[in-house]
Structure 1
Amino acid sequence: MKKVRVLHRLSLWVVVSLLLTGAAFAQTKSAKIDALIQQYVANRQFNGSVLVADKGQVIFKKGYGLANMEWNIPNAPDTKFRLGSITKQFTAMLIMQLVEKKKLSLTGKITDYLPDYPKATGDKITIHHLLTHTSGIPNYTNFPKFFETLSRDPVTPESFTKEFSGKPLDFEPGTKFSYSNSGYFLLGTIIEKVTGKSYADVLTENILKPAQMANTGYDLFSPILPKRATGYEKKGSTYVNSPYLDMSIPYAAGSMYSTVEDLYRWDQVLYTDKLLSASGKATMYTPFIDGYAYGWGVGKSKVGQVKDSLAILEHGGGINGFNTIISRLPKDKQLVVLLNNTGGAPLNDIRKNILRILYDQPVEAPKMPIADLLRQSVLSDPLEKTKQKFTAWKADKAYSVNENEINALGYELMREGKDKEALAVFNLNTDAFPESYNVYDSRGEIYMKMANKAAAIQDYKRSVALNPRNTNGFAMLKELGETVEVPKQEGVVVDKATLESYVGDYQLAPGFSIVITREGDKLYGQATGQGRFELFPESKTKFYLKVVEAQVSFVSNDKGEVEQLILHQNGQNMPGKRLR
């Protein structure tokens, strides 16, 4: 007995030692995460709540800034935030549950469940198309003046469906990816039709109660909801209340609220078969076009100098005054949840830095955003002075010159009726990112507002030339009276000899290359630690990817020898020297 007791005590000591070591390890990472977030808070780039789990255990959770600025109420781990498009993964789960109960079929057509839907399109769009954003149904949030006109009044699912159901499709179902809230709105309507219950009730009964997510639900304006965060938006150096949005509009595409703690419960239940079978989840996580599965983006994430890229399931959300992200790394059961209530936070950058901490990699110090500085300058300085300042900020590594942030500032000024200043901002953005189709698309919009038709046409033509898949650009050209046909990418053919000349290893950074290979008349690329992807020709020298929104160009020297690859992604041009 004594021996047993000694062994028992020894085992306890070992366990205690391991627990203490693990706690210290977690605290070290916790302290690093806290210090990192504090930098973003100091830069006015984050105001919300954070939760991080490692190996299935929460190692960090904390709130930053204010949930309500008028009453000085702080954010906390149990603060409720609007989720925006994170809602889509819950809608996808409800659909898959109905599929397993044989009440729905992934190959079923819209008209199988909504007989009143227009047959011309509803007879050929499937549940699968809706789940993967490949239906071709126009995205209602992109409709002209949507936020000024349609977004403020309550609707029923049936009545609002008519806003987009009769419009022509943007493309043939199943052929392209184009993010569409309309598709997920329809999925909510189908859920209600099949179950005979409201979307909110089906959500509560089939996910929230089984997963014990008591602080999650369908967000409506009228009910008293304890610890609900208020949404804010930046306006210069201060914040304002975000514009009102009736939550019947986002519906099954974006109307949920939750907390970082409840989203951890969601993460954990997904590792079980409590809500859906293993085979059902495998189907749900299988990506289709552009890496989008059913309510989840699925791909690989490169973390610092870690050799292998990591499989990641994630989705972001954005809704008036809020932006959010949930990232799951199943291999090590890691989870990063970031919920922000001031809109426009660089959540992808924050998530990447948190992963670097989890894998003991050096973080990239947050850079000061220039949007506030640019706004102040464009409103007070002569244009030439603003240009000089902008050039200096671009050259200073302490500042972040982000295409999307500058673009957002331009639209902010447009909404305020400051069209001249907005144009100046869009001009700076096109100068800084001349290979981005989106900057010309945005400047085309301000030219249209200012009745400069010729300039708008020129910009939209430049936009679609850079990205022939920019359906909005073609739609605007049509509205402007220009008969520009959407090019058929399948018609571009590059001969095998030219394709062979691109084969090689191109180094974009130390330890990171893209290897180009050819099989028959097809070209493939493979980045370090990532899966192979096909390259589709836009021209003889430029190709596009379907797995992500990116293009690749090949550059030859004076002798006609291919010596460089340029990766065009997120407004950046990343050259890679050919090694072989």
Structure 2
Amino acid sequence: MVRKAVTLGLALAVTPLGSAAQAEPARQLFDEWLGTFNSGDSSAITAFARTHLNDPLAVTPRNQRTETCGFDLVRVEKDEGTAFSALLAERCFPALSRLSFRVDEDGETLRDFNLQPFAMAPERAWAATTDIANRLAERDEFAGSIIVVRDREAPWMLSRGSFSHDDPRPITADTPRFLASAGKMFTAVAILQLLEQGKVALDAPLSRYLPDYPNREMAKVTIRQLLNHRGGTGDAGILQREDAANRAWVRTIDDLIKLNGNRAPAFTPGSQSDYSNYGFILLGAVIERVSGERYPDFIQAHVFEPAGMTEAGYPDRDHIADVPVGYSTFFESEPEAIPSTDALPWSGSAAGGGVASAEDLVRFFAALQAGKLVSAETLAMATVPGDTPWYGLGFVVQEGKHPLWGHGGFSYGMSVAAQRFPKDGRTFICIATRDMACDRLIYAWFDRTFGLIE
């Protein structure tokens, strides 16, 4: 669809902000919102969100303020007393957004509050995303790489930041970084390879492959339920900051089963969904038992090497000098972002972790699409929703106008967004060493690529 050209150098704000006393309730609240938002005062933005949007944390509006630098009013499109919409111009980048909402009966609460950019041409959406990334990097809120791959075209790449606050080596697209839960895709691919070889069955119980598993009820969970986060298998006990005592001795998948193996499922397997790291540890145990290989060795030989992922691997904590340090603000007792190294487990596992570069993830997605790792039929089966609407067989999935499959990753000082948009012919890769940085950037890119159309 051809977008109408919009000139942003107009005389803005057809209705002055000083007329709030005579305005309808929606216009009064809009004026209050715009003034608060443009102030950049984080506490004021949070107070407005708490009072009027039932949003006590105000993470999204505070992020939007950083990403847009505020707005100027272009024109009011609707002002019907309790229903309001307006066209806004970003202050940092020449782009338009639309804000719409309605006022609840109490005259204070805003319902259906929606602030969304207009879609841009691909080049401008990339330019807007990199503009945001650069500003986040200046605030030390982004260090890492973004790659957007467009089918049959050269990829767009951006890298910012250094290995650590004390190590000036620049991060590049080939720099290995921690993957967190994005590594679950490798476990899923390994299971699917064994499925194609007839060595694993999706609806077989765990006990078929681990007959000596300690808890009999947990051993009834099926491979499909583990892949689909419907086993009730819970967390792994090594990934939270308070799990330091467990991290001190846990090294292998067998160690993780010693730590967690006596635990029964949290609910009847298959009855509900609950994201589970330990479920993927159990899949790693199946891979080891069926193949006779250590999990890292199997993934190296059957995923990384066929895909050409030259920087990917599972280094232990004693061998991560060439992996950039993550910095996290999620250590609640600390006033500033601190290195997250102390919260790392001994090494990556079947639940995630490990390292790869942004270029490696591009190669991984290309290998999947080319049928180098599993067949097209198997990939199609894995990348549609199962009983869990947002998850397939080891992949986060989303249906709708712009379907996607892939996986994110999040932990202390780690952020990953790796998504394929098959209908649109695009792949988005981001690996960062700051909390939630890739979540912010993939939403910024997506909203500006597939946003409002007029």
Q: Which residue of 2 aligns with 1:293?
A: 392
AA partner of residue 157 (structure 2): K
Residues 238 and 244 in structure 2, CA contact (< 8 A), matched pair in contact too: no
Query: How big is each residue's C-alpha offset from its partner over 1:294-337, in whole Å with a ceiling of 9 and x where there is no partner?
Result: 12111146xxxxxxx20011321123321211111011221111
SS in 2 for 1:40: helix
2:342 to 231, 244, 254: 244
Bigger Cα displacement from structure 2, 245-254 vs 188-197: 245-254
1:182, CA displacement in angstroms?
A: 0.5
**1:86-97 to 2 correspondence within 5 Å?**
86-97=182-193
Q: Which residue of 1 aligns with 2:352?
A: 254
1:351 to 439, 442, 448: 442
Cα 1:145–1:152 shift into 2, 3 Å? same
1:182 aligns with 2:278: yes
Residues 416 and 439 in structure 2, CA contact (< 8 A), matched pair in contact too: no
1:173, CA displacement in angstroms?
A: 0.5
The CA distance in 2 between the partners of 1:361 and 1:125, in whole Å, is 43
Query: How big is each residue's C-alpha offset from its partner over 1:156-202, in whole Å with a ceiling of 9 and x where there is no partner?
Result: 21132122221132100011101111100111111111111111111
Q: Which residue of 1 aligns with 2:405?
A: 313
What is the percentage of aligned positions where both structures have the same residue?
A: 26
2:416 to 306, 317, 324: 324
Query: How big is each residue's C-alpha offset from its partner over 1:229-283, in whole Å with a ceiling of 9 and x where there is no partner?
Result: 1122237774322142454465110122111111111111121221111221122
Query: How big is each residue's C-alpha offset from its partner over 1:501-539, in whole Å with a ceiling of 9 and x where there is no partner?
Result: xxxxxxxxxx9xxxxxxxxxxxxxxxxxxxxxxxxxxxx
**1:72-87 to 2 correspondence within 5 Å?**
72-87=168-183
1:268 aligns with 2:366: yes
1:153, CA displacement in angstroms?
A: 3.1
Select the structure that is richer in helix.
1
The CA distance in 2 between the partners of 1:179 and 1:360, in whole Å, is 29
Residues 30 and 59 in structure 1, CA contact (< 8 A), matched pair in contact too: no
1:28, CA displacement in angstroms?
A: 4.8
AA partner of residue 413 (structure 2): G
Residues 218 and 265 in structure 2, CA contact (< 8 A), matched pair in contact too: no
Q: Determine which structure has more spread, i.e. the larger CA radius of gyration.
A: 1
1:163 aligns with 2:255: no
AA partner of residue 396 (structure 2): G
Residues 347 and 354 in structure 2, CA contact (< 8 A), matched pair in contact too: no
TM-score (norm 2): 0.67
The CA distance in 1 between the partners of 2:284 and 2:192, in whole Å, is 13
Cα 1:223–1:349 shift into 2, 3 Å? closer
Unaligned runs of 5+ in 2: 1-120
The CA distance in 1 between the partners of 2:359 and 2:250, in whole Å, is 30
Residues 248 and 255 in structure 1, CA contact (< 8 A), matched pair in contact too: no
Cα 1:343–1:216 shift into 2, 3 Å? same
1:229 to 307, 324, 337: 324
The CA distance in 2 between the partners of 1:58 and 1:253, in whole Å, is 32
**1:489-500 to 2 correspondence within 5 Å?**
none
Cα 1:144–1:232 shift into 2, 3 Å? closer
Query: How big is each residue's C-alpha offset from its partner over 1:361-413, in whole Å with a ceiling of 9 and x where there is no partner?
Result: 69xxxxxxxxxxxxxxxxxxxxxxxxxxxxxxxxxxxxxxxxxxxxxxxxxxx
SS in 1 for 2:255: helix
Cα 1:58–1:86 shift into 2, 3 Å? farther
Cα 1:173–1:101 shift into 2, 3 Å? same
Residues 125 and 445 in structure 2, CA contact (< 8 A), matched pair in contact too: no
Q: Which residue of 2 aligns with 1:282?
A: 380
Query: How big is each residue's C-alpha offset from its partner over 1:446-481, in whole Å with a ceiling of 9 and x where there is no partner?
Result: xxxxxxxxxxxxxxxxxxxxxxxxxxxxxxxxxxxx
AA partner of residue 449 (structure 2): L
SS in 1 for 2:182: helix
The CA distance in 2 between the partners of 1:352 and 1:342, in whole Å, is 16
Q: Which residue of 2 aligns with 1:203?
A: 299
Cα 1:210–1:250 shift into 2, 3 Å? closer
Aligned residues: 330
AA partner of residue 107 (structure 1): D
The CA distance in 1 between the partners of 2:393 and 2:166, in whole Å, is 39
Residues 154 and 246 in structure 1, CA contact (< 8 A), matched pair in contact too: no
The CA distance in 2 between the partners of 1:342 and 1:325, in whole Å, is 13
SS in 1 for 2:369: coil
SS in 2 for 1:31: helix
Cα 1:64–1:82 shift into 2, 3 Å? same
TM-score (norm 1): 0.53
1:105 aligns with 2:196: no
Residues 185 and 250 in structure 1, CA contact (< 8 A), matched pair in contact too: no
The CA distance in 1 between the partners of 2:427 and 2:170, in whole Å, is 23
The CA distance in 1 between the partners of 2:270 and 2:318, in whole Å, is 39
Residues 239 and 343 in structure 2, CA contact (< 8 A), matched pair in contact too: no
Q: Which residue of 2 aligns with 1:333?
A: 425
The CA distance in 2 between the partners of 1:244 and 1:143, in whole Å, is 11
SS in 1 for 2:318: coil
Q: Which residue of 2 aligns with 1:216?
A: 312
AA partner of residue 428 (structure 2): V
The CA distance in 1 between the partners of 2:353 and 2:145, in whole Å, is 19
Residues 49 and 340 in structure 1, CA contact (< 8 A), matched pair in contact too: yes
1:151 aligns with 2:247: yes
The CA distance in 2 between the partners of 1:123 and 1:161, in whole Å, is 12
AA partner of residue 292 (structure 1): Y
AA partner of residue 298 (structure 1): V
1:101, CA displacement in angstroms?
A: 0.5
1:355, CA displacement in angstroms?
A: 2.2
Q: Which residue of 2 aligns with 1:39?
A: 135
The CA distance in 1 between the partners of 2:240 and 2:179, in whole Å, is 24
The CA distance in 2 between the partners of 1:113 and 1:256, in whole Å, is 25
Residues 244 and 320 in structure 1, CA contact (< 8 A), matched pair in contact too: no
Unaligned runs of 5+ in 1: 1-24, 302-308, 363-510, 512-580
Cα 1:93–1:243 shift into 2, 3 Å? same
SS in 2 for 1:266: helix
Q: Note the aligned Cα RMSD (angstroms).
A: 2.6
